Amino acid sequence: QDIMNLAENWTTDPVRVEIEPESVANASVEQKIYIVTAEQKINVLYNLITQQNLDRVMVFVNRRDETRDLTTKLKALGLRVAMLSGEIPQHKRLRTLENFRNGRLRVMVATDVAGRGIHIEGISHVVNYTLPEDAEDYVHRIGRTGRAGATGTSVSFACEEDAFLIPAIETLLGEKVLCTHPEPELLA
């Protein structure tokens, strides 16, 4: 409103132009939600990355402690992984992004600090390890893939703790998201 007041006071016959996207989410991103238990998430994530031989995967969680915990688990499983959250100093964030960009890291576990404004070519998959509490954050997270004409895949995990967030996401998107159980090989 302050900008509108300023425009009215300092311009002659101002015109307001509003632009809305045709679609809230990028149409080049395939979206699916796996219905899992909290205990199954780590197996499904690890198997998804290794069985599909994924190179650049962004995995989003909601809290800093979750980034630390998940990063530790994935490193123990032998994956090249780093974390990106608000507790990481800026110079280390930039180094982590550069290592992810140039392929030295296979997986980046991040909070929503990385959900907006970061563009890295070649991110094939975005995984919502925990569903975001704000539906708009979902759109920003999945927007890290399927950029600049490329296609991408968003896989979200919904468990007993956060499945109730799905309706708000679907309302914002204006469409249903495919909710399914993971394939048996992903549960192994």
pLDDT at 159: 97
Residue where the block lists tokens 């599909």: 52
Considering the entire predicted model, what is its pTM? 0.84
pLDDT at 22: 45
* Neighbour tally for 57: CB within 10 Å: 26
Walk along the chain (188 residues) and give the pLDDT tens digit of each residue. Answer: 788 888 888 888 888 777 655 445 567 789 999 999 999 999 999 999 999 999 899 999 999 999 999 999 999 999 999 999 888 888 998 999 999 999 999 999 999 876 566 778 889 999 999 999 999 999 989 988 876 677 889 999 999 999 999 999 999 999 999 999 999 999 98
125-128 and 152-158: which strand pairing? parallel
